[in-house]
Amino acid sequence: MSKLLVRTSACTLGLLVYFGLALVGGPALPSDSPIKGDWDESGANVGGDWNQDPGSNTWTQAPVDIPNDPNQYKAVLQCQTDENNVSVKCLPGQQQCPPREEGGKAGIPVIWKVAPRGIPDPVWTDWTPTGSGPSCLYDERVEDLLPRIAALIQSEFQKLPVAAGTVTAQPSPHTLRGAETNFYADSAEQQFDITILGQKVHVVATPVQYTWNYGDGTTLGPQASAGGPLPQDRWGEKTRTSHVYTQTGDFQVVLTTHFQGTYSVNNGPPLPIPGQGQFSSQPQTISVWRSITRNYADDCIRNPQGQGCPGAAAPAP
């Protein structure tokens, strides 16, 4: 296994400069830093979204919350205005859902209704977003088409080519045994257009939780925090998603991202997909090294052949 040899003089501390570990109370971040704000003496990111949990002494970011839709929806046949009357829009010649292909059957117009969620016997009103008209359903069994789609949507969701996201480690691709290695995920909302039972279905997948497999038998999650990048002068500090390897070697890190989904049928309202879809990233290799730190009475300028200097012979394994 490779060794990292750090040479310092007798009057200096043995810092692991290559990895830039653990400098507390660092300077203000550069303007292009992905983390906004300045680090104060207590370690707080002033004006940013990072904070230090005093209980666990870990650096955390606020999780991304997906707002819940306060409404519920249902679809009714546009032709049926009440128990006894039929809409004039459904009379012969007034059909609003022409065949999708030449010689095909006309569709059945459906009006979506909306009402506040959690209210017994609510008052339903038409759900009519800007530029939207009736949804058209094309099926021999229109009356139970939407329940049939609802029964299939969760399994169809899991089949989608949803990208789990990318994994970044700090430091990388090499880290040190016994040190905190910060991991974070970069995952985004994704949209898909699929066909279920002959209907056009639009699916939106939003990442909501993350599970880490660090490759050494240790896992973390599922949890809402995706983690985030630390400035280099703070590498080695504990974060919500960091991990300490106790052995050297190459380890395969796998991220599993849990997605919450919604689906809409033929331009209807976004309906929740039950449960979550789980999608895993390709394994990423991280090499864990051990470090050796020694103090010397001179430096490499005075003694270029000294141990640890570029001109010195390689140390014995």
pLDDT in tens, the chain (317 residues): 444 443 333 332 222 222 222 322 333 333 443 444 333 333 333 334 445 454 444 555 444 445 578 888 888 877 655 555 555 555 555 556 888 788 888 888 888 888 998 888 898 888 876 556 678 888 888 878 999 999 999 999 999 999 999 999 999 889 999 999 999 999 999 999 999 999 999 999 999 999 999 999 999 999 998 999 999 889 999 999 999 999 999 999 999 999 999 999 988 899 999 999 999 999 999 999 986 666 667 777 878 877 767 666 655 55
Q: Is the pTM of this model over 0.85?
A: no
Check residue 158 and give its pLDDT. Answer: 95
Q: Cβ(164)–Cβ(281) under 8 Å?
A: yes
Q: Which residues of 91-110 are buried (b: 16+ CB within 10 A; e: fewer)?
A: eeeebebeeeeeeeeebbbb
Q: Which burial class, exposed, middle or buried, applies to 45 when counting CB atoms under 10 A from its CB (0-12, 13-18, 19+)?
A: buried
Check residue 132 and give its pLDDT. Answer: 62
What is the C-alpha to C-alpha distance for residues 66 and 288, in angstroms, rounded to an integer?
36
Check residue 40 and give its pLDDT. Answer: 37
Check residue 195 and give its pLDDT. Answer: 96
- What are residue 136's DSSP bridge partners? 109
Check residue 104 and give its pLDDT. Answer: 82
Check residue 76 and give its pLDDT. Answer: 80
**Three-class secondary structure of residue 192 per DSSP:** strand
What φ, ψ does residue 286 adopt, rounded to 5°? Answer: -125, 130
Check residue 55 and give its pLDDT. Answer: 47
What is the C-alpha to C-alpha distance for residues 97 and 20, in angstroms, rounded to an integer?
65
Check residue 89 and give its pLDDT. Answer: 54
> What is the spatial order of strands in the sheet that 180-186 belongs to?
166-170, 180-186, 243-244
